[in-house]
Amino acid sequence: MDRKTEILKEFWGFDSFRPLQDEIIDSVLNGKDTLALMPTGGGKSLCFQVPALVEDGVCLVISPLIALMKDQVKNLRKRGIKADAVFSGMHYKEIDRIIDNAVYGDTKLLYVSPERLQTDILKERIKKMNVSLLAIDEAHCVSQWGYDFRPAYLNIPEFRKLIPYTPLLALTATATPDVVDDIQEKLAFKPEAGIFQKSFGRSNLSYSVFQEENKRVKLFDILSKVKGSGVVYAGTRRKTKDIAVYLYRKGISAEFYHAGLTPDQRSKKQDDWISGKIRIMVATNAFGMGIDKPDVRVVVHMDLPNNLEAYFQEAGRGGRDGKKSYSVLLYSPKDKSTLEKQYEQSFPESGEIKRVWQALGSKYQLAIGAGKGDSFDFDLIPFCETYSLDIVKTHSALKILEQDGWLTLSEAVHLPPTVKFIVEKEALYDYQLKNKKLDKPIRRILQTYQGGYNRLIPLKNMGRLAGSLKWSQEHLIKALEILHRDEIIEFRPAKDKPQITFLRERRGANDLQLNKERYDFRKERHFFRMNKAISYAETPICRSKQLLAYFGETESDACGICDVCTGRNQSEFKGDEFERLKTKILRLLKRENLNTEEILEAFAPKWEVKLLKVIQYLYEEGILLMDKEDKFSLGKE
Ligand code: ADP
Ligand code: MG
């Protein structure tokens, strides 16, 4: 057995690697830059976790979501692997200690959120760190061509220069061909990189699109026919609740889920759904990340997402166990105008962006020239209420500020309360003598956390600490607050709010320069992706073929199980009619350019209506071009 397989067995208990894991790991171990394209659930994490254990030193992992980082760190530790994470909102001392452990200790994997890469502390100490591998998870985030661009990812190439001999592994589950190229360029891939792509085809997943006026009735119909666990995605928080109630009243076990619920509510609902206590989860797109439930039989979208990357990820949560499953999109022409409206709102004017910027300045009282690198709690809704701002537009404005590199927003994270003693031992002793009541918690903390005198102590279990004093938690918190006020300790209460981090020195709204070119570019890309999603819903071609073509697999066969292939689609095309007409039109145009009339003449009259649809489709897709005389010719391809 080779070393990597031994490690797989020893730490994970798995007998063999899945397709491509092997090859990817070898490529990394041979010191090559490597790109791994694998669908969600394909097992990307092991592709850097195993090499991390094979080699000496630390594997640095860049990941965009704090929740996912924490999850992975927890899982690794459970297996006895030393792992840590550094992200915004953590106390400086804590970051300091963790990075030190990576330099001098035996940390094997260090997860870092991308905006931390430009901090001096990391840039300085990385030079002393023995970094075996730089892994970039969700690597599509580095590309402005992609649907989930995160500007902090652009710190990676600069950062990489500090460890020029370390190989890089980029991983993603959703990348169109243009994004794949861009990733390699942006991450400064070295020549002779290894590129590995697992097909995104899912032979057990039947995709369908149904044109429906009354979506709820159709939903009920689907959930009555397909047995087993399911997810229903809806576009707004409000709808998730309404639909769950509707289903519940009709006798289907359902719950709703969105980011506005408390962490406790969310984890309870999620657990109930995973264990099967609840059959259907009605959710916004906040649901599903990092959830690994194999037996999801049906995923229904009540609203069309504004890009196929998101649709593919969400629909792909069905049938991970390889058994037959259904992913259904309920579509009505109204969805198109909804998306178009959202598109408008996603790109507010610069005046509106400046207003949001100004409000942030007042809220955090940032002086001009200060604020770089500072993180604060941030809650969108109260913020908008305080400054009378429109929520949707403010959200879009923040996104634009983020994409332009002014700030980053992270999701809510739970951080435990921390305590640090800030007086000399004698002074503390003095204080204990004078304050008999507060002597108790001081002694208990110092006993519980050995060697805790000079360091930052995360109080991970307040309940137990309070219990051991026979106090209530509130009582303990009061005591800590008094100690803080008396400048004996520095006490920071627990946090569970999203964080906003300012990335540049504060400027006045008038000096806030937004990059117009980039703004226009992203607007154009957004428009492009949105239209691709609409076209998916409206085009009667094998759904699987359409999705795969979008991700660059142009040679796939018709799946045989989607609504189009099985003829369940209510559009007038039967079987492979659409494909046949398309092929014939293309053949005609290969010979000479023709106008619509001339094309129609080449077919029997009964095909007219269908031909017009096919021609329109081919034209909109850019497969056909039209010249000045209204004649069609073949486009680039
Ligand atoms: P991805 O990041 O590609 O979405 P993950 O790395 O989260 O996927 O892995 C998905 C699941 O597959 C995890 O539960 C993981 O333990 C499991 N898995 C990965 N590789 C193997 C393997 N070789 N054998 C068995 N299970 C595996
Ligand atoms: Mg992953």
Amino acid in position 271: D
Q: Whose CA is nearest to atom 13 of ligand 1?
A: 43
Radius of gyration of the chain (CA): 28
Confidence grade of residue 171 (pLDDT, cut at 50, 70, 90): very high
Confidence grade of residue 138 (pLDDT, cut at 50, 70, 90): very high
Q: Whose CA is nearest to atom 23 of ligand 1?
A: 17
Tell me the whole-structure pTM to 2 decimals: 0.80
Give the mean pLDDT of the chain.
Answer: 90
44 CA → ligand 2 middle, Å: 6
Ligand 1 atom closest to the CA of 137, numbered from 1 = 2
Question: Among residues 142, 191, 180, 188, which one has the least CA distance to residue 164?
Answer: 188
Mean pLDDT of 303-326: 95
16 CA → ligand 2 middle, Å: 19
Tokens of residue 184, six digits: 């390699």
d(CA 231, CA 447): 48
Q: Which 3 state secondary structure label does DSSP give 388?
A: coil
Q: What ligand has the least distance to the C-alpha of 291?
A: 1
Q: Whose CA is nearest to atom 26 of ligand 1?
A: 14
Confidence grade of residue 425 (pLDDT, cut at 50, 70, 90): confident
End-to-end CA distance of the chain: 47
Tokens of residue 507, six digits: 């400027």
Ligand 1: does its nearest atom lie under 6 Å from the Cβ of 68?
Answer: no
Q: What is the pLDDT of residue 498?
A: 82
Q: Which residue has the higher pLDDT, 56 or 372?
A: 56
d(CA 29, CA 52): 10
Question: Among residues 318, 303, 289, which one has the least CA distance to residue 228?
Answer: 318
47 CA → ligand 1 middle, Å: 9
Is the four-CA dihedral 451, 456, 460, 462 of positive or negative sign? Answer: positive
d(CA 390, CA 379): 14
Question: Among residues 94, 82, 64, which one has the least CA distance to residue 156?
Answer: 64
Ligand 1 atom closest to the CA of 17, numbered from 1 = 23
Mean pLDDT of 8-37: 96
Ligand 1: does its nearest atom lie under 6 Å from the Cβ of 429?
Answer: no
Whether residue 64 has pLDDT greater than 70: yes
Ligand 1: does its nearest atom lie under 6 Å from the Cβ of 378?
Answer: no
559 CA → ligand 2 middle, Å: 26
pLDDT tens-digit series, residues 87-121: 887 888 889 999 999 999 999 999 999 988 988 89
Which residues are CB-contacts of 555 (< 8 A; sequence separation ≥ 6)? none
Q: What ligand has the least distance to the C-alpha of 61?
A: 2
Ligand 1: does its nearest atom lie under 6 Å from the Cβ of 41?
Answer: yes
Helices (H), 141-188: 155-160, 177-186
Find the angle CA(410)-CA(413)-CA(414) to the nearest 5 degrees: 165
DSSP state of 115: G
Whether residue 636 has pLDDT greater than 70: no
Q: What is the pLDDT of residue 447?
A: 85
Q: Whose CA is nearest to atom 18 of ligand 1?
A: 43
Tokens of residue 539, six digits: 């085009």
pLDDT tens-digit series, residues 535-561: 999 888 889 999 999 999 988 888 989
Q: What is the 3-state secondary structure (H, E, C) of 467-515?
A: HHCCCCHHHHHHHHHHHHHCCCEEEECCECCCEEEECCCCCCHHHCCCC
Q: Which 3 state secondary structure label does DSSP give 125?
A: helix
Ligand 1: does its nearest atom lie under 6 Å from the Cβ of 42?
Answer: yes
Amino acid in position 499: Q
pLDDT tens-digit series, residues 572-630: 677 678 888 999 999 999 999 999 999 999 999 888 888 888 887 788 777 888 888 88
Ligand 1: does its nearest atom lie under 6 Å from the Cβ of 24?
Answer: no
**Long-range own/partner contacts, residues 379-386 (CB < 8 A, 24 or more apart):** 379/497, 379/498, 380/498, 383/359, 386/359
Ligand 1: does its nearest atom lie under 6 Å from the Cβ of 15?
Answer: no
Question: Among residues 31, 24, 86, which one has the least CA distance to residue 49?
Answer: 24
CB 399 within 8 A of CB 478: no
Tokens of residue 95, six digits: 């970051």
Q: Whose CA is nearest to atom 9 of ligand 1?
A: 43
Q: What is the pLDDT of residue 377?
A: 87
Whether residue 262 has pLDDT greater than 90: no
Ligand 1: does its nearest atom lie under 6 Å from the Cβ of 38?
Answer: yes
42 CA → ligand 1 middle, Å: 6
423 CA → ligand 1 middle, Å: 48
Number of residues in the chain: 637
Share of the chain above pLDDT 90, in %: 61
45 CA → ligand 1 middle, Å: 7
Ligand 1: does its nearest atom lie under 6 Å from the Cβ of 63?
Answer: no
Tokens of residue 86, six digits: 């550094």
Q: What is the pLDDT of residue 212?
A: 85
Ligand 1 atom closest to the CA of 292, numbered from 1 = 14
DSSP state of 127: G
Ligand 1 atom closest to the CA of 45, numbered from 1 = 6
Ligand 1: does its nearest atom lie under 6 Å from the Cβ of 43?
Answer: yes
Confidence grade of residue 206 (pLDDT, cut at 50, 70, 90): very high
Confidence grade of residue 568 (pLDDT, cut at 50, 70, 90): low
pLDDT tens-digit series, residues 338-384: 999 999 999 999 899 999 999 999 999 888 887 787 888 898 889 99
Q: Whose CA is nearest to atom 24 of ligand 1?
A: 14
Please state the separation of Cα 524 from the chain's center in Å. Answer: 22
Q: What is the pLDDT of residue 278?
A: 97
pLDDT tens-digit series, residues 384-415: 999 999 888 999 999 999 988 899 887 766 77
Q: Which residue has the higher pLDDT, 264 or 43?
A: 43
Whether residue 259 has pLDDT greater than 90: no
Q: Which 3 state secondary structure label does DSSP give 76?
A: helix
Q: What is the pLDDT of residue 578?
A: 81
Please state the separation of Cα 108 from the chain's center in Å. Answer: 24
Ligand 1: does its nearest atom lie under 6 Å from the Cβ of 76?
Answer: no
Instruction: Select from 10, 12, 45 the residue to mutate for testing ligand 1; criterion: most ligand atoms less than 8 Å from CB.
Output: 45
Asked which of 35-44, 169-178, 287-296 is least confident by mean pLDDT, the reply is 287-296
Q: What ligand has the least distance to the C-alpha of 138?
A: 2
Torsion of CA 284, 290, 296, 302, to 10 degrees: 20
pLDDT tens-digit series, residues 446-475: 888 876 677 888 888 888 889 999 999 889
30 CA → ligand 1 middle, Å: 22
